[in-house]
Structures are given as C-alpha cells and as structure tokens.
Amino acid sequence: MTAWVVRRPGPMATRPLERVRLPVPEPAPGEVLVRVEVCAVCRTDLHLAEGDLAPRRPGTAPGHEVVGYVEARGPGAGRFAVGARVGVAWLRAACGTCRHCVRGSENLCPHSRYTGWDADGGYAEYLTVPQDFAHPLPADRPAEKLAPLLCAGIIGYRALLRSDLPPGGRLGVYGFGASAHLTAQVALAQGATVHVLTRSAAARRLALELGAASAGDAYDAPPEPLDAAVLFAPVGDLVPVALAALDRGGTLAVAGIHLTDIPPLVYQDHLFQERTLRSVTANTRADGRALLEHAARHPLHVATTPYPFERADRALEDLAAGRITGAAVLHIGD
C-alpha cells in the first residue's frame, strides 16, 4: 500500500514527509483493518511532522480523522461487519483499569495510545484500529464532511465543555480553523453568543456567515466581556489576551496539544475575580459519541478543502502557511 510517513521531523520546507510503499497491516486480536476513504488533516499532524510533537516511533504515518470501511477483522473482532463504514479518531487505546479510566477520564490514562502517533494513521491506504475505539458512521453522508468531525469536531466539543460556557453565554473563539468553525456552530446551536478573534480575514468572513456576532483580529478586544473562551490557535501570547477578555468567573480552555510559551501573567489583570485557565487533553470515546450525535441532530456546515492523496505534503505546507479555511481533507480511496 502507499503511505506518507514522517522520516525526519523538521520545518515543512525540509520535506519531513516521505511517500513510501508498506505492506498492508494485519489486524491483531480485537482489531479491524480499515480501507481508508478520506483522512482530514489536523494541526497535530503538522506538529508531528515539524517536530513540535516528539515522535514515538520512527517512520509513522500521521492522520487520525479517518473515514473508511472495514476490510477484515482480527480474531475476536465481531463488533463491525466487513463493509461497515467507520471512523478512526485520535484516541486509539486506553487501559480501562487505571483510576482515570475508571472515573471516565480515559483521555488522561497514562497508558493511552494515539492514532498517527503510536501507530500508523490515515495518511495510508489501510490502517488497523481496536474495534472498541472505532466509531460507527452513517453510510449516506459525504466522507469529506464526516472526517473533520473525528478530531476537529471532537476536541472542539471537549474544549467547549471545559470552558464551562453557561446557557446563553458569551463565548470567545480564538483562532478559526478546522476545529473552531465546528465548535462555534455547536455553541450557537446551544444558544450562545459567539465572538471570533482570528488573524485570517477569510476566517473572519466565514465566522460571520456561520452566525458569529462579531469577528475581529486575534489581539482585538471582543465587543463585550466573555463568559468563556476557547483558544485554538497554538499561540501562547494569546493566553493573557483571552484571559483579560473574560468577565468575572469566566474560563479559558486551551484546546491544542502544542502551545508556544505563555508570557508572564499578571494576577490582578488575568486571574483575579475567579477567572480560570484550563488545558484540554485529547478526548474520550464519550466525547466522540456526543459530538456525532449532536451533528446528527444539528447538521454542521463543514468547510473543507480537498487534496489528492499524492499532495499530502502540500496540504501540510498550506496548513503551516495559514492558507486553508476550514479543514483540509485527503482523498485516498473510493
């Protein structure tokens, strides 16, 4: 099979991705083999390619927003029929027995494993996944519109929960890429007022089209104090900016797996009056189910930019340069 792998992490100009031929993987007990239809491109893939996220194994195929079909089943894998349409997300495995898993926080499991980091992901024609960590997907939805839900949607949903947005509250969204444009729609469906702060003029236009109350530059002050905010841009300089925009008792959730250094915070300006700063770590399967159920009830406008599989490196280059509005999606199989 054809796959793209990270050979030498570094800036995209150094071409860290290499197109290679690999054997089709065999599903282990409890796993299914998935023939990949499409794979959306996540900023985490870029962090892995450029070395911001340290590789866990050499020559890994990135990608964890996969839509595909079950091609074969390993021993004991009976959850899905051959031919079933499934989604493969970031969280690949958790132990199920540690105190974090037992309390429902499998995203914090110290033994958790991740698609496209600990095992080859969707920048390939085939991949394997434990059946219990695959998501059933509808057969009648375009694959290109489903794929971004599997990470951009899920992690944004979890970040929204972590922001403690009150009913009818005022939400600030910093950065407006693949995850943010979906999260804003979830918040709007819940009755929130959404203010978008982002450097991209095209993203600001999209935000207003989707129903945002305002759209300004990332460093602008929103037109009113915020009850909650989510930082999607991996820019630590925006943390004090977003904290200062919060009303008393507000919460800022930082959604990314990587963030540049946060400058010093001034307690009185940024944290006093019970403002809260929270991180967001990966996702749980429950988050995935909840987001997919929400999308079934409230169809989301998923802005995508398609790329042929042979241009996977170009898709990451465009993401690094800020040339993508919404989500890039690699078309891999039929």
23-52: average pLDDT: 97
Among all chains, which residue has been given the structure tokens 């200062």? 244
Q: Is the pLDDT reported for residue 256 higher than 90? A: no
The class (CATH top level) of 2-150+283-331 is alpha beta
122: Cβ contacts below 8 Å, ≥ 6 apart? 36, 39, 61, 62, 63, 64, 65, 66, 68, 88, 115, 116, 330, 332
Q: Which helix (H) or strand (E) holds 316?
A: helix 312-320
For all residues of the chain together, what is the average pLDDT?
97
State the pLDDT confidence band at 272, using cuts at 50, 70 and 90: very high
Q: What's the pLDDT tens digit per position in 146-174? A: 999 999 999 999 999 999 999 999 999 99
C-alpha torsion 205→210→216→222, nearest 10: 170
Q: What is the rounded CA–CA span in Å between residue 112 and residue 119?
A: 12
Which amino acid does the sequence have at 80?
A: F
Rounded percentage of the chain residues whose pLDDT exceeds 70: 100
How many residues are there in the chain?
Answer: 334
Q: Name which of 207, 212, 165, 157 is nearest 188 in CA terms.
A: 212
Q: Which helix (H) or strand (E) holds 101?
A: helix 99-102
Q: Name which of 300, 52, 10 is nearest 152 in CA terms.
A: 300
Which amino acid does the sequence have at 118?
A: D
Q: Which two tokens stand for residue 91?
A: 């969280």
Whole-structure pTM value = 0.94
209: Cβ contacts below 8 Å, ≥ 6 apart? none
Give residue 46's pLDDT.
96
Which amino acid does the sequence have at 199?
A: R
DSSP codes joined into one string, 102-144: HTT-GGG-TT-EEBTTTB--SSBSEEEEEGGGEEE--TTS-HH
58-62: average pLDDT: 96
Q: What's the pLDDT tens digit per position in 75-131? A: 999 999 999 999 999 999 999 999 999 999 999 999 999 999 999 999 999 999 999
Q: Is the pLDDT reported for residue 333 higher than 90? A: no
**139 CB-side CA count, 13 A:** 5
Rounded percentage of the chain residues whose pLDDT exceeds 90: 98
Give the fold, CATH level 3, of 154-279.
Answer: Rossmann fold (3.40.50)
Give residue 325's pLDDT.
87
**53 CB-side CA count, 13 A:** 23
Task: Count other C-beta atoms under 10 Å from residue 167's C-beta.
Answer: 8
Q: Name which of 68, 282, 39, 46 is nearest 147 in CA terms.
A: 39
Please check whether residue 316 is in contact with residue 45, taking contact to mean a CB–CB distance below 8 angstroms.
yes
Q: What residue spans define the domains of the chain?
A: 2-150+283-331, 154-279
Give residue 334's pLDDT.
67
- Give me the phi and psi of 247, to 5 degrees please: -75, 170
Q: Is the pLDDT reported for residue 247 higher than 90? A: yes
The alpha-carbon radius of gyration of the chain (Å, integer) is 19
